[in-house]
Amino acid sequence: MRKFLQKTLPGSVMVLTALSFENPEPAPMPDPEIFIAAHPKDYFMAPVAASPLKINGTFGELRSDHFHSGIDIDGNTGQPVFAAADGFIDRVRVQASGYGNVLYVKHPNGYTTVYAHLDRFSSDIQKFVKETQYKRERFEVDLHPADGQFRVKKGQEIGKLGNSGGSTGPHLHFEIRQSGTDRALNPLLFGLPVQDKVPPEIRDMKVYFLNEKREVLTSKPFPIQRQKDGTVGVANEVTYLGAWRVGFGVKAFDKQSGHRNDNGIFAIALYADGELAYQWRMDQLDFDESRYLNAHVDYAARKRYGAWFHRCFLLPGDRLSNYTRTNALGSIALSKDKPVKILLKVMDAAGNTSSIQFQVKRDENMEPFVGQPYQYELPWDAESRIDLEDFTMSLPKGALYENLQFQYKTTQDDSDGMYSSMHHLHDNRTPVQKYFEVSIRPRNLPPELRTKAVIAYCGEGRPDNCGGAWRDDYLVTKVRQFGDYCVMVDKDQPTITPVVFDDDMRKKSTMAFRIRDNFAVSGSADHLTYRGTVDGQWVLFEYDRKRDRLTHTFDGRIGAGEHWLRLSVKDDRGNEAVFERKFLR
């Protein structure tokens, strides 16, 4: 049974600390080659008519705040998309962002396939979706047809490839999931026609100086060289490092035969003196763990330079299931008497492998570690709370990946629309796994503006509305990143700009509007909501959030003659814009 100790650090921060925190027991894991061979290779066909498929994004690829849960298949808008095997439509969803128009097909062998960013569905499914949208008077819907209502055969067209939702270009995002657990599986392990005989490319490395808890003290580049035969190595026979223990990071990408694209790799293994010290592989993914990407990568390097480095060691709070639980967990102890032989292997899902070998030894001159001044010590494995006169912050257990020497300060800013000090919460280069609560007491806020007050994140560009609800004299919200926060007021209505609209719409097939707000949205704030009517009756406007665009396609519901359009748009604080105009059909 665990015992808990409550202690107070200088500055009134309360920490609830567990005196023991168990690491998962080391467990053997089959080699990646075994995972590659273990999946059925002849059950699923390619969901688009191309052989070989051109892959623009691989499973497990590093993305912002998440691992990629499928493969991105290159294609053109309107290209047919086919059911990969017999089954029935289990779910249909329409979103303004995210997956956009997406279909889930359930198969009798225990798998479900997912087809996202579709331009549109097949005619029978499209009719079902549109009727439901009009019945519910909303664009975004999440539908679960009765089993067998829409049966599909292998190779049957179920939609058209597109660019809906959060997609940045036409492609099909394709997934294979376990139906019972909803766990995503790597589609490249199922025998799809992908030609890949090119090994991954190791482009860069870093070395991290670690303490006994595998927390990072500092890091620096670990120079590598490309040899004449195309392999990579290091300049010296032995590299000396001024640390007791180190971990490594690698920047690596996969290439596909005949297709120039930097894709994600499948697996990494690191051996120290012939013994497996670290292994990561992406044969499957638990969606609840996907944000642990921010522990897996060098988050600070990503934020500063846009560089994606895989850590080849585990931070203490990294609970991702895709690692082999070795005894070392990637931490390499150094000796000044004998060098450690390191072998780092990188593999793609086709089994192609690249590697680098080198030796490291502890330098007699140890690297100096000079920490920055800080105000609070926040543990990763316990709750923390900072209580100040005008500010509180509550971090749940597991919100951090390693103990944090937390920097906090306030500055005064008399800019128009600000009603509190600027609270500087450490920096935005330190990742946070879970939402945490922030409370700020405003100053000089007129009572009539209380309903318009928000906690704002002030980074680059326009501020983020993070929402906020009143708790006594404090405005309270939940956020998931460190940075600069203050209380601001949002009393400006959104803007509605006609893109395709005039008084005479008789020769138009669509009408479209651009809608925008003065704040971006994050935290617990709501996105823009809207409602469009013609002659008082609700009409469907499709919302493409990445383009800030509403589009209505004329489909015969609006007859010939003169009509009255009313389009209203509201933001998170209830500010409303209205566009009203007559038009002819």
What is the arithmetic mean of pLDDT over 511-527?
A: 94
**CB-based contact 234:291 (threshold 8 Å):** no
CATH superfamily label, 32-189 = Glucose Permease (Domain IIA) (2.70.70.10)
What is the arithmetic mean of pLDDT over 339-362?
A: 97
Residue 35 has pLDDT above 80, yes or no: no
What is the arithmetic mean of pLDDT over 42-59?
A: 95
Write the pLDDT tens digit of every residue in 388-398.
999 999 999 99
Greatest alpha-carbon pair distance for the chain in Å reads 91
108 three-class SS: coil
Q: How confident is the model at residue 317 (pLDDT cuts 50, 70, 90)?
A: very high
Higher pLDDT, 51 or 238: 238
The pair of structure tokens assigned to 285 is 């993914």
What is the arithmetic mean of pLDDT over 518-522?
A: 93
Residue 24 has pLDDT above 80, yes or no: no
**CB-based contact 71:84 (threshold 8 Å):** no
Q: Could you state, in order of their start, the residue ranges of all structural domains in the chain?
A: 32-189, 201-362, 376-489, 495-584
Q: How confident is the model at residue 371 (pLDDT cuts 50, 70, 90)?
A: confident
Q: Report pLDDT for 507.
A: 96
What is the arithmetic mean of pLDDT over 265-290?
A: 97
Give me the sheet containing 422-425, strands edge to edge: 408-411, 422-425, 483-489, 453-457, 464-465, 520-521
Which positions ≥6 away from 31 have C-beta within 8 Å?
none
The reply to whether 495-584 shares the fold of 376-489 is no
569 three-class SS: strand
What is the arithmetic mean of pLDDT over 365-379?
A: 92
Nearest in space to 312 (alpha carbons), one of 277, 347, 282: 277
Q: How confident is the model at residue 30 (pLDDT cuts 50, 70, 90)?
A: low
What is the arithmetic mean of pLDDT over 100-114?
A: 97
How much is the pTM?
Answer: 0.92
For residues 452 and 473, give the distance between their C-alpha atoms in angstroms, rounded to a whole number.
15
The pair of structure tokens assigned to 439 is 């409370």
DSSP state of 45: P
What is the arithmetic mean of pLDDT over 508-522?
A: 96
What is the arithmetic mean of pLDDT over 292-320?
A: 97
- When the pLDDT of each residue in the chain is averaged and rounded to a whole number, the result is 93
Q: Report pLDDT for 258.
A: 83
Write the pLDDT tens digit of every residue in 197-224.
999 999 999 999 999 999 999 999 999 9
Q: How confident is the model at residue 124 (pLDDT cuts 50, 70, 90)?
A: very high
For residues 524 and 465, give the distance between their C-alpha atoms in angstroms, rounded to a whole number.
9
CATH hierarchy code of domain 495-584:
2.60.40.1220
Q: How confident is the model at residue 34 (pLDDT cuts 50, 70, 90)?
A: low
CATH hierarchy code of domain 376-489:
2.60.220.30
Q: Which residue has the tokens 């704002």?
A: 456
Nearest in space to 12 (alpha carbons), one of 410, 394, 487: 394
Write the pLDDT tens digit of every residue in 522-580.
988 999 999 999 999 999 999 999 999 999 999 999 999 999 999 999 999 999 999 99
Reported as type and span, the H/E element at residue 157 is: strand 157-160
**CB-based contact 312:278 (threshold 8 Å):** yes
Q: Report pLDDT for 3.
A: 32
